Amino acid sequence: MGILQGKRIVVTGVLTDQSLAFGVARLAQQEGATLLLTGAGRGLSITERTARKLDVPVEVAEFDVTVPDHVESAREAARRVLGGVDGVLHSIGFAPASCLGDDLLAAPWQDVSVAMEVSAYSLKVLTDAFLPLMGPGGSFVGLDFDNTVAWPAYNWMGVAKAALEATSRYLAKELGPRGIRVNLVAAGPLKTMAAKSIPGFAAFEDVWSERAPLGWDVMDGGPVARACVALLSDWFPATTGEVVHVDGGFHAVGT
């Protein structure tokens, strides 16, 4: 039996089969989970095609976290397909081009607010949608990128990730009495579609390969998927409000 045997998991953020969320979905399914994927906007049809690449094809529900009506419709889709929800993967992030690059001051609030809503506030929106279907032992897991320092070019997305971390801690405090956990996985840089939108991504690759004591393969999302699946399982029953680094140890070693 897999560690997610009998678990009902909602996975957001699957676009192509190179996405981190797809790796989590595939491993979760192999570990026994029943899945529902979500997609949004013009990417919805791509998510639907990618969902058919899983070992067992799964349904896709439309869920744009900026559309209030989708909170209820996604909840009803999960109720219909899964019956209830035991775990949710938050893999949602976006920042307009002005929020990335070399000029932090160039981004207007209109663009920054988009980055904050989609990348951080969305964790609360997912909670609104699926908490009514979740009982004790449930787990929310989000994908993060370490933001304890300021990174070149990451700019307002780094600020949004800081907000995501704060949101996860406050949700952990609020949901803990219900027996529900909220954790994040801070992944090292990986060559995903999202990474392609970050200017100077190659510089991250070079630094990580030199400094991470365990080494780091930017083409291998497997370690991140394993961490997410473990946190979605019952194997971390007393862990919440945590940021688990899966980065080869990079975050712990100075230059």
**Which residues are catalytically annotated?**
154, 161
Side chain identity, residue 35: L
Tokens 């954790």, residue located: 183
DSSP state of 56: S
For residue 8, give the 3-state DSSP assignment: strand
Distance between CA 255 and CA 241 in Å, rounded? 28
In whole angstroms, how far apart are CA 237 and each of 85, 126, 194, 224?
17, 21, 31, 19
Tokens describing residue 141? 């897991």
Among 35, 28, 36, residue whose Cα is nearest residue 3: 28
50 φ, ψ (degrees, to nearest 5): -65, -35
For residue 62, give the 3-state DSSP assignment: strand
